[in-house]
Amino acid sequence: MKDLLRVADLSADDLSLLLKLAAGFQDEPAAEPGLLTGRIVPMYFAKPSTRTRLSTAAAVTRLGGTPVTVGPDELQLRRGETIGDTARVMGSYAAAVVIRTFADADVADLAAAAPIPVINALTDGHHPLQAVADLLTIQEHFGDLRGHRIAYVGDGGNNVARSLIEAATLAGMDIAIAAPDGYLPTGETIASAEAEARRRGGSIMVTQDPVAAVSGASVVYTDVWLSMGDSEDERRHRKDVLAAYQVNQYLMDRAAEDAVFMHCLPAHRGEEVAAAVIDGGRSLAFRQAANRLPAAQAVLYALLTDRLEGHR
């Protein structure tokens, strides 16, 4: 397995290995300081980024390499050079490529042409690095993944929700998605997750009732309602439709007694989450953010040392 474009590319053993490696990098951040000595990793960001940009740059540096961050205006793509040509050129200079952009097809085209590993650092469809960090955080807190249920409340069709669904079912966890009509996961996502859950012993539940989703859940998870590029009309509509899906103290009290709150950040307090929840004692949101670094180290290390087998 050369690239990581989505969680569903991984096998269950791959995911387990990434979590083991990430936990190791938590304990020993400089465990592999020579892996990337004298090598660069271009990081192409077509979207703004805080956690992904800084965590991947730090991961490359800890592995001994030099991250080189570039944007759309700094490459020849805007002048008509193809993604394939860009990928081949990068492969002549670099050890791997990290890309954060819009279309999944662009990342797939880059990976198809690049002779080096390509890591999806967020597209409109997927956010695999976030999902690895999420499961690392849950495992770190509870000691195990199996037997725990994640309740995702809000926009269930976005990239974070899709990658979380893929990761949770691959790990044999239970996951419940609560979202209003029009914001539910696609039928394809649900069907794939159900099949994976049957293989791994987990389950997936999709509902429009947030209370039903969080009942008995160990983790209550949400993400922003509004995305970059939404029109004013779309922003107003989303706020109206998703208002009943805010994670507040009432909803947290319906989860398991030891339930924790998670959010991939950035957060809009007063919209998808109440300030008292994300800033309270049950919140792991900032632990998640910290865990983006060892997760990125694990993915880079596993790809560069050819440790991943791919989904079978």
Active site residue 306: no
**Contact call for residues 259 and 218 (beta carbons, < 8 A):** yes
Q: Which of 130, 139, 246, 297 is catalytic?
A: 130
Active site residue 223: yes
What is the CA 200 to chain-centroid distance, rounded?
20
Active site residue 292: yes
Pairing of strands 174-178, 149-153: parallel
Alpha-carbon distance 119 to 6, whole Å? 9
Active site residue 307: no
Alpha-carbon distance 75 to 243, whole Å? 41
DSSP symbols for 56-81: HHHHHHHTT-EEEEE-GGGSGGGGT-
Q: CA nearest 185: which of 175, 198, 199?
A: 175
Strand order in the sheet with 260-263: 203-207, 174-178, 149-153, 219-222, 260-263
Q: Which of 162, 246, 264, 288 is catalytic?
A: 264
Q: Which of 100, 126, 149, 263 is catalytic?
A: 100
Q: Which of 53, 148, 149, 292 is catalytic?
A: 292
Active site residue 109: no
Please name every residue paired with 221 in a beta bridge, in sequence order, or none if there are none. Answer: 152, 262
Q: Which of 127, 149, 162, 238 is catalytic?
A: 127
- Amino acid identity of residue 249, one-letter, is Q
- Amino acid identity of residue 161, one-letter, is A
Alpha-carbon distance 272 to 270, whole Å? 7
**Contact call for residues 18 and 170 (beta carbons, < 8 A):** no
Active site residue 100: yes
| Residues belonging to the active site | 100, 127, 130, 223, 264, 292
